Amino acid sequence: DAGVIQSPRHEVTEMGQEVTLRCKPISGHNSLFWYRQTMMRGLELLIYFNNNVPIDDSGMPEDRFSAKMPNASFSTLKIQPSEPRDSAVYFCASSLSAYSGNEQFFGPGTRLTVL
Amino acid sequence: GDSVTQMEGPVTLSEEAFLTINCTYTATGYPSLFWYVQYPGEGLQLLLKATKADDKGSNKGFEATYRKETTSFHLEKGSVQVSDSAVYFCALSYSNYQLIWGAGTKLIIKP
């Protein structure tokens, strides 16, 4: 089992550019989460999908952020246009089920730097 | 609202020392409690969990007991190794998808 796969691992871009982060969850998992981690704000849940359907996007900072899950094995998080304050590590996580007691498996993260 | 408070880091110990990382929580119900660990350059991974009061979670020599009376879930290890250097996150969850995270405690173990 390869675990949760994220790409790219590092992304450096200039302000105003579009950024797309990619995630492949563990096969058979039906819940997918996107998190953002910064020193100032810690770990924040951005959006949660269940069976490919967005259930809670209340953590998405603003309209510049969007996420999709076209099928059970792929999800994207897009930032357009990017700003320096978006610089962070973005994690994707998946779980068998979202309910209490179920482990979330995290990918290695994408470190985004917006200049 | 519900919250998790962890001791501030970094915590610096010598190899083979005893470790305690404090975690307390505020909750309106009876959540499940978790410790996740993040090694440098990696994502978080579950270390241990407890789903009800007085349960003890354990893994890789780490232990934590769910204490309802003190609303605590302190992480302990009897003898730490350099390889335990990481950031440790305490979290709680109810019967939904939300994990409420502590701020994380960085642990540094010196040889």
pLDDT digit string (tens) for B25-64? 998 888 999 999 999 989 999 999 999 999 999 999 999 9
* Cβ atoms A20, A14 nearer than 8 A: no
8 Å CB contact of A31 and B51: no
Nearest alpha-carbon partner for A8 in A87, A109, A92: A109
Other C-beta atoms within 10 Å of B104: how many? 23
Interface residue of B30, B88, B97 to substitute, partner A, most A CBs within 10 Å: B97
Confidence of residue B72 (pLDDT cuts 50, 70, 90): very high
Interface of B with A (CB under 8 A): 31-32, 41-46, 49, 51, 89, 93-99, 101, 103-104
pLDDT digit string (tens) for A25-40? 999 998 999 999 998 8
8 Å CB contact of B97 and A106: no
pLDDT higher than 90, residue A92: yes
Mean predicted confidence (pLDDT) in A38-47: 92
CA-CA-CA-CA dihedral for A82, A87, A88, A94, to nearest 10? 10
